[in-house]
Structure 1
Amino acid sequence: MILAVVFANVEGNILIERFHGVPVEERLHWRSFLVKLGADNFKGVKNEELLVACHKSVHIVYTVFGDVSIFIAGKEEYDELALSEVIFVITSAVKDVCGKRPSERRFLDKYGKICLCLDEIVWKGYLESTEKDRIKRLVRLKPPTEF
């Protein structure tokens, strides 16, 4: 299960978060842990270079993407390899929505569409869609023309 998808800015403020199967009382711990993990390890990291960590049998893959950092935590079948595919799909969708690597301002301007993309990619803790064209089509909020 994908436990968390978290976007943060360079100061460590959370921009978007999605938790699945994580009790409310544990979410603050995960937020602070992920942001601290990024602050400790992002120095000198190139854009879209994947970093990997493990904490309490939870696998974490994270990266810097423009002015935004992305963290994905998963357990069981979502190991580092599966999470790296998830983060690739998410960065690709965000790049499509923003037109390029996002600055914080551009990211927040496209906030609604990015949230829709996230919901199409990860649904209830599981990878739902990886096809770029399908995600674009579903985010347009128009009825499907082909079945």
Structure 2
Amino acid sequence: MPFNGVPAEERLHWRSFLVKLGAENLKGVKNEELLVACHKSVYIVYTMLGDVSIFLVGKDEYDELALAEAIFIITAAVKDICGKPPTERVFLDKYGRICLCLDEIVWNGLLENTDKDRIKRLIRLKPPSEF
């Protein structure tokens, strides 16, 4: 879970809050059915995609409507990379490519790209990273 702009001392609180929120509300939810919550003046939009829970958190101009737009493109990109709603295994196998894709969608906490075709072109241009 990336926590862009969240002070280190608050990250544990947010991580446990999101885990609890998902455990309470995501049971029986259909694929890509959006759920919305608000906590400490912060909006949370979340869903299930296959076996994977996806949470987007924002505030100010990143309200629930902006987050819903972003989660739509993220779920579309993940399905495109995985070929279907992913199992946990497939998601982890494709994790590197998913991260490249997420990097093009959200950059430094700001929504950057929402065009699926443009994102596909941009991730193809990335050079392989060296370890």
Provide TM-score, normalisation by structure 1.
Answer: 0.84
Q: Which residue of 1 aligns with 2:115?
A: 131
Match of 1:68 among 24, 28, 52: 52
Residue 81 of structure 1 aligns with which residue? 65
Aligned residues, how many? 127
Of 122, 137, 140, the match for 2:106 = 122
The residue type equivalent to 2:40 in the other structure is K
Q: Gaps spanning 5+ residues in structure 1: where?
A: 1-16
Return structure 1 stretches of 4+ with deviation > 2 angstroms: none
Letter in 2 for 1:108: L
What is the TM-score when the length of structure 2 is the normalising length? 0.93
Ranges in structure 2 where 5+ consecutive residues have no aligned partner: none
For the aligned residues, what is the CA RMSD? 1.1
Match of 1:11 in 2: none
Q: Which has the higher strand share?
A: 1
Mapped partners of 1:56, 1:142: distance in 2: 37
Amino acid at match of 1:137: R
Q: Post-superposition shift, 1:142?
A: 5.2
Higher helix share: 2
Corresponding residue to 2:93 among 100, 106, 109: 109
CA distance in 2, matches of 1:18, 1:89: 18
